[in-house]
Structure 1
Amino acid sequence: MTRVLVVEDDPQLVRALKINLQARKFDVEEASDGGLALRLAATRKPDVILLDLGLPDMDGIEVIKGVRGWSRVPILVLSARHTSEEKIRALDAGADDYVTKPFSMDELLARLRAATRRQEEPAQNDEQAVVTTDDFTIDLVAKKVLRGSRPVRLTPTEWHLLEILIANPGHLITQRRLLLEVWGPTYSEHTNYLRVYMAQLRRKLEADPSHPRYLITEPGMGYRFEP
């Protein structure tokens, strides 16, 4: 049974989430503040976390960072904060998805199923786990990038984009697919997100970011990784 940790201080919303999740055979734990959420995440090892950002004792971003210090458990943010800056902060801190309140329960459940499916996907085999080019090396299991002997720091969102592209070498990945997989259905038209993050990846990985060798744009269509 999939264990869900609901981190939310609104008792009515917690009750609605518990009823809907338990009806679909999820095992539900709950925490009304960030401190308890971090303790339960460590001791109960949930399969997925639903997290409100507006908690009474700390910002939900700090909960994300705390969990990401030791776990890759999927984190879905549930928040009334609508600005792009807030969403990017949460995603860069390590959230896997961002659902804006008010939301439909059907949409939330679909996002939850997608997150748990991704978590259950088989790990890369040893041959796929390390990708080596003339300019950089990517270790997918250790989540490390080296340019020569120098480590390159990537944000969780940059990692997610890069993993999708290098898992499909030479293949065009559409803008829509990248947006759906990295940011979710709400962002399927936000192509500006892709331009910003791809530019960041090129600055970190390409020898000449303005003339990329590996991270190629197909104008109006999407991106591909050329090994």
Structure 2
Amino acid sequence: MNSTGYGGALGILGGMGPSASAGFLQTLYETAAEQAGPFAEQALPRCLLDSDPAFPDRTEAIRTGGEAEFTERLARRLAGLEELGASRIVVACVTAHHFLGRLDPARRARVISLVDVILDDLEAVGAEERLLLVATHGTRDARILEQAARWPAVAHRVVLPGPEVQETLHQLLYQMKWEPVTDEIAARFMRIATDHGCQGLVAGCTEVHLLTRLLRGGGYRIVDPLLTIATQLKSLLAE
């Protein structure tokens, strides 16, 4: 274990979109500082961020069959983080998890699955709570969450929006890639959730982490795997 008390370095493959992965890095350090109390910066974890916005659009890759090109770039970027010393890696894009099954098993084993973290968190959601899935078309088309073996046990807690609302959510998520996340945008998401009888959101897209950062402490329930990883980072790196 290194001198900071963390079991290794965390690699972050980001840029999909850039603001979400940058926000995740900020959340990691804010959370680590909160957990440590009075500290020196030398006590914080080593994080390696490769922000690569040149990755092809994930939804388009899924819909047009561009999976080989995407997977090759994914494998190359993950290998680069491993070479820099990353012991565990977060691919900061839920839709990109569709391609993880094409990777070498040893490389895939280093990746902290956002899907698994979401399912873990959904298991802890109250029996009467309902949360709206906010995801891109690619994640919905590929049924990334629904294909998980544990999905049937938590599916009743998640509301899947219909086609028209799904289109609205997809466009809002893409808008968040290039525009600042405002209270107005956050309110739109929460209104859509309320209209569906939901008490919060499931972050089926890492762009939702920008909402989490804005709404933290506001009483909203957001199942956000990036926030969970930030909270549990020490134990995850020790595995």
Task: State the TM-score, normalized to the length of structure 2.
Answer: 0.35
In our comparison, the structure showing a higher alpha carbon Rg is 1
**Structure with greater strand percent:** 1
Q: Which has the higher helix share?
A: 2
The two structures have a TM-score, normalised by structure 1, of: 0.36
